[in-house]
A and B are shown apart, each in its own frame.
Chain A
Amino acid sequence: MKIGVLVLEGPYQHQAADSAYHFVKAALARGHEIVGIFLYTDGVNNANGYIKPPGERNIAERYSELASQGIDVIACTACARFRGFRRDMVVENVRLGGLGALADQLKAADRFVTFGD
């Protein structure tokens, strides 16, 4: 099955980014294709390559790891601009993209799951 995922909250403040990650890992383990993970609103902050949490899980690295497996992980360009999140801050393997990319994921997915507040 093709599954799309939307994340509406940033790292650490809310559990959404963690829940989405665990859900995606489980979906991959069951043999599903993740057509994309769209990081929207504060969700773009999950793709900040400068995240260095002392002694804690690195949420940006987790999304980078998923993207390195071929999953299209996209952080919303406009949301990034609203938050002073520069292109050169994006963690490896993740890219910036517009709502057209979200539309593509919505069209490609058999199931679409949103994690947020």
Chain B
Amino acid sequence: MENTVAVLMRKAPYGSVYTAEGLRSILGIGVFEIDVRVLFVDDGVYALVKNQDPSVLDMKSLGDAFPSLPEFGVSSFTVHAPSLAERGLSVEDLVIDAELVDDAGAAALLASAGTVLPF
């Protein structure tokens, strides 16, 4: 419980640095014996959609990066289902297998971690 951190991803990728920094912090703190659980809510779910190609912007693809996280010991991915639905998306549109939760499930995940890092 003490060393569990929920990383709360609510912002869309590329338009600002937050998703990329969230990813960097997940990698950065995940190697220091912290159990990282990543929760995608609101525009945060856009970080997981397929067919991202920011090479045209000379940026690195976040869609490629999230599926590689289990190699670094981070494999808890949860998506707020209502956020997904209201963007016309479903799990088939995502680059990872994520657990879907409702409002109460999202709140429970944040509460069980006890520490929340927002990006």
Residues on A facing B (Cβ under 8 Å): 6, 8, 40-41, 78, 98-100, 102-104, 106-107, 109, 112, 114, 116
Q: Determine if B45 is an interface residue (Cβ-Cβ < 8 Å).
A: no
Q: Determine if B68 is an interface residue (Cβ-Cβ < 8 Å).
A: no
Asked whether, in the complex, the Cβ of A41 is within 8 Å of the Cβ of B21, the reply is yes
Give the chain B neighbours of A109 by CB distance below 8 A. 115
User: Can you list 5 A-B contacts with CB-CB less than 8 angstroms, sorted by A residue number?
Assistant: A99-B25, A99-B29, A102-B28, A103-B34, A107-B2
On chain B, the number of residues with a Cβ less than 8 Å from chain A's Cβ atoms is 17
Give the chain B neighbours of A107 by CB distance below 8 A. 2-3, 32-34
Total inter-chain residue pairs, C-beta < 8 Å: 44
Binary contact readout B22-45 vs A (1 if CB under 8 angstroms, 0 otherwise): 001100110011100000000000
Asked whether, in the complex, the Cβ of B115 is within 8 Å of the Cβ of A106, the reply is yes
Q: Determine if B118 is an interface residue (Cβ-Cβ < 8 Å).
A: yes
Asked whether, in the complex, the Cβ of B32 is within 8 Å of the Cβ of A103, the reply is yes
Asked whether, in the complex, the Cβ of B29 is within 8 Å of the Cβ of A102, the reply is yes
Q: How far is the CA of A61 from the CA of B78 in the complex (A)?
A: 41
